[in-house]
Amino acid sequence: MSEHDDSEEAFAEETLIQAIENQLEADSPPAAKATFNKLTLVGYEREEVLQLMALVLAHEIGAMLRDDRAFDMDWYEQALRALPELPSED
């Protein structure tokens, strides 16, 4: 992996985490804040929770692009609520 790939990956992760922080601030979807609170309560650090939530968001964005479809909010909220279990690659 080149240095350029590393910086692109770091930028993508920062962008996803920023999106999660925006969802938490806006309390939209409500599952975002509920999930954040649940995972924090059971001992996850803030950064860990944001990364887990960003992985779920990345998974859904990848599926959107792959399947050429709209964002599936129902799936996204269910996947958030399932954390810390990550979605399977299906």
* 22 found inside a domain: yes
pLDDT interval class at 4 (50, 70, 90): low
* 88 found inside a domain: no
Say which DSSP state 9 is in: H
Stated pTM of the model: 0.89
* 90 found inside a domain: no
Q: Into how many domains does the chain fold?
A: 1
* 87 found inside a domain: no
* 11 found inside a domain: yes
15 phi, psi to nearest 5 deg: -65, -45
Three-state secondary structure call for residue 44: coil
Q: What pLDDT is stored for residue 88 in this prediction?
A: 85
Say which DSSP state 80 is in: H
* 72 found inside a domain: yes
Which domain, by its residues, includes 32?
3-82
Please indicate whether residue 3 or residue 61 has the higher confidence score (pLDDT).
61
Mind listing the pLDDT tens digit for each residue in 10-23? Answer: 888 899 999 999 99
Q: What pLDDT is stored for residue 7 in this prediction?
A: 86
* 50 found inside a domain: yes
* 89 found inside a domain: no
Of 6-15, 42-51, 79-88, where does mean pLDDT reach its minimum?
A: 6-15
Average pLDDT estimate for 65-75:
97
Helix/strand/coil percentages in the chain, nearest 5: 75, 0, 25
